[in-house]
Amino acid sequence: MSVRMRMTKSKTGLRRSHHGVKNLSHSKNEDGVTKSHRVSVDGKYKGRVIIDMSKREERIMKRKADKKAKKQQNDVTNNENKTKENEVIAAKNNTEGELKI
């Protein structure tokens, strides 16, 4: 009895490439074409509002502002640390020069 050869990932992918959803359905709230079981761009699913887009936009803008503020705070902290390191290096250089004399 012969041993079956293993199927490679590429061959498996080629076989599965035909398994995707092909039939698109018309959404109820607008004339656009959408995939079934998906929320539309305006946040509606089966005619009901699922995602409040105005609150979502507010949340996204708040996250961006928080991220920007945190980055600015990190930049200030990094600059302070660099100046402290430079001061320590300068102090070491000054003490070494005094010891050599």
Look up the pTM and report it. 0.41
Segment 60-73, tens digit of pLDDT:
999 999 999 998 88
Q: Which two tokens stand for residue 92?
A: 């070491």
Q: Which two tokens stand for residue 46?
A: 């089966």
b vs e for 27-41, b when ≥16 Cβ sit within 10 Å of the residue's Cβ?
beeeeeebeeeeebe
- φ, ψ of residue 28 to 5 degrees: the values are -80, -30
Residue 7: alpha-carbon gap to chain centroid? 34
What does pLDDT average to over the chain? 80
> d(Cα 59, Cα 74) in Å, to the nearest integer?
22
Segment 42-96, tens digit of pLDDT:
888 877 888 888 888 899 999 999 999 998 888 888 887 788 777 877 777 776 5
